Amino acid sequence: MNRNIYQFVAALASGVVFGFGLSLSGMLNPVRIQGFLDVFGAWDPSLAFVLGGAVAVAAIGVQVTKRMRHPAFDDSFHVPANHRVDAPLVIGSVLFGLGWGIGGLCPGPAIASLSMGLPRTILFVVAMLGGMMLYDRVWSRRA
């Protein structure tokens, strides 16, 4: 089979597993996310286990990747070359955190939540895509 088909199937399978995991863990519920982020109020610590599990799986994945010469369906790994903590990284992180705290969603769960058809989620995704397009048209060209 063509390598592009393998890449597509692997990406699709990964996305389905990721979306199922988000749904199973409660990450698609904005109220639950906001409860987790409300550390000085009615804090819901249950998502700490979800995040801890995600960090553990990612750490294992990084160690496996370091031992591989190349990925299964590509010639090389595509990792960022910039390792500096600079203003764009900090500003982007702050914007991400604000969006997560206010909207109760981040990009992965927002896309997975579209299947529920909630107007709040649709508005969030439209705003997220608008922000991505604005960045692409304005700031990414400066680099």
Q: In whole angstroms, what separates CA 100 from the centre of its chain?
A: 11
Residues 87-111 pLDDT 10s: 888 988 998 888 888 888 888 888 8
Mean pLDDT within 112-139: 88
pTM for this model (two decimals)? 0.72
Asked if 106 and 100 touch (Cβ cutoff 8 Å), the reply is yes
Mean pLDDT within 59-80: 89
Longest CA pairwise span in the chain (Å)? 54
**pLDDT band at 85; cut points 50, 70, 90:** very high
Residues 9-37 pLDDT 10s: 999 999 899 888 888 888 888 888 888 88
Cα separation, 104 vs 110, whole angstroms:
9
| Residue closest to 31 by CA, chosen among 121, 130, 117, 125 | 121
